[in-house]
A and B are shown apart, each in its own frame.
Chain A
Amino acid sequence: MGRKLLLTHDHVEGIQGYAAYRANGGYRSVEKALKKMTPDEVVEEVKKSGLRGRGGAGFPTGMKWSFLAKPEGVPRYLVCNADESEPGTFKDRYLMERIPHILIEGMITSSYALGANTSYIYIRGEYFYVARILENAIAEAYANGWLGKNILGTGYNLDLYVQVGGGAYICGEETALLESLEGKRGNPRIKPPFPAVAGLYGCPTVVNNVETIAAVVPIVNDGGDEYAKIGIGRSTGTKLISASGNINKPGVYEIELGVPVEEFIFSDEYCGGIANGKRMKACVPGGSSVPILPDYLVCKTAAGEDRLMTYESLSDGGFVSGSMLGSGGFIVYDEHQCIVRNTWNFSRFYHHESCGQCSPCREGTGWMERVLHRLEKGEGHMSDIDLLVDVAKKIEGNTICPLGDAAAWPVAAAIRHFRHEFEYHVLHPDKIKDPKHGYREPIMPVKPEPVTA
Chain B
Amino acid sequence: MAEVIQGTRAFNPSTRAGIQFSEEALKTIEALMKRYPEGKHKSALLPVLHVAQAEADGWLSPEVMDYVAELMKLQPIEVYEVASFYSMYNLKPVGKCVLEVCRTSSCWTRGAEDVVDYIGKKLNIREGETTADGMFTLKTVECLGACGGAPMLQCGAEYHENLTEAKIDSLIERYRAEGRRKCYTDLDYQNTK
Q: State whether A337 touches B109 (Cβ < 8 A).
A: yes
What's the minimum C-beta distance from B54 to chain A, rounded to whole angstroms? Answer: 11
Q: State whether B142 touches A353 (Cβ < 8 A).
A: yes
The CA-CA distance from A351 to B40 in the complex, in Å, is: 32
The CA-CA distance from A337 to B81 in the complex, in Å, is: 39
The CA-CA distance from A129 to B160 in the complex, in Å, is: 12
Residues of B within 8 Å of A315, CB to CB, are none
Residues of A within 8 Å of B188, CB to CB, are 135
What's the minimum C-beta distance from A407 to chain B, rounded to whole angstroms? Answer: 13
What's the minimum C-beta distance from A395 to chain B, rounded to whole angstroms? Answer: 16
Q: State whether A166 touches B105 (Cβ < 8 A).
A: no
Q: State whether B85 touches A161 (Cβ < 8 A).
A: no
Instruction: Decide if the interface of chain A is mainly helix, strand, loop or mixed.
Output: mixed
B75 within 8 A of A: no
What's the minimum C-beta distance from B70 to chain A, rounded to whole angstroms? Answer: 16
Q: State whether A345 touches B108 (Cβ < 8 A).
A: yes
The CA-CA distance from A329 to B143 in the complex, in Å, is: 12
Known A88-B106, A342-B105; contact A129-B157, beta-carbon cutoff 8 A? yes
What's the minimum C-beta distance from B160 to chain A, rounded to whole angstroms? Answer: 12
Q: State whether B192 touches A331 (Cβ < 8 A).
A: no
Stretch at the interface among B17-25, B129-137, B147-155, B166-174: B147-155
Q: State whether B104 touches A349 (Cβ < 8 A).
A: yes
The CA-CA distance from A7 to B3 in the complex, in Å, is: 41
Known A89-B147, A168-B86, A333-B109; contact A345-B47, beta-carbon cutoff 8 A? no
Known A166-B87, A346-B105; contact A129-B158, beta-carbon cutoff 8 A? yes
Q: State whether A166 touches B46 (Cβ < 8 A).
A: yes
Stretch at the interface among A28-36, A119-127, A188-196, A216-224: A119-127
Question: From B146, which residue of chain A is reached at the shortest CB distance?
Answer: A90
What's the minimum C-beta distance from B136 to chain A, rounded to whole angstroms? Answer: 19
Residues of B within 8 Å of A128, CB to CB, are 50, 157, 183-184, 187
The CA-CA distance from A255 to B120 in the complex, in Å, is: 40
A181 within 8 A of B: yes
A-B pair number, CB within 8 angstroms: 170
The CA-CA distance from A251 to B150 in the complex, in Å, is: 10
A136 within 8 A of B: yes
What's the minimum C-beta distance from A278 to chain B, rounded to whole angstroms? Answer: 12
What's the minimum C-beta distance from B58 to chain A, rounded to whole angstroms? Answer: 14
Please encode chain A, from 413 to 442, with 1 for each CB lying within 8 Å of some chain B CB and 0 for all others. 000000000000000000000010000000
Question: From A356, which residue of chain B is reached at the shortest CB distance?
Answer: B1
Q: Interface size (B, Cβ < 8 Å)?
A: 50
A244 within 8 A of B: yes
Residues of A within 8 Å of B45, CB to CB, are 183-184
The residue from B1, B50, B103, B141 contacting A166, defined by CB atoms under 8 A apart: B50
What's the minimum C-beta distance from A23 to chain B, rounded to whole angstroms? Answer: 23
B16 within 8 A of A: no
B11 within 8 A of A: no
Within 8 A of A (CB), among B41-93: 42-47, 49-50, 78, 81-82, 85-89
What's the minimum C-beta distance from B114 to chain A, rounded to whole angstroms? Answer: 10
B123 within 8 A of A: no
A374 within 8 A of B: no
The residue from B2, B89, B157, B187 contacting A356, defined by CB atoms under 8 A apart: B2
Given contacts A88-B147, A142-B192, A345-B105, 15 further A-B contacts (CB under 8 A): A84-B145, A126-B88, A129-B157, A129-B158, A161-B192, A164-B46, A166-B50, A168-B87, A183-B42, A184-B45, A184-B82, A242-B147, A244-B148, A245-B105, A329-B147
Closest 4 CB pairs of A and B: A166-B86, A167-B88, A183-B45, A167-B87
Q: List 23 A-B contacts (CB under 8 A).
A: A88-B105, A89-B145, A89-B147, A90-B146, A125-B46, A125-B86, A135-B187, A136-B191, A139-B192, A163-B47, A166-B50, A166-B88, A168-B85, A180-B46, A182-B40, A183-B45, A201-B37, A244-B106, A334-B109, A341-B108, A346-B105, A352-B142, A354-B1
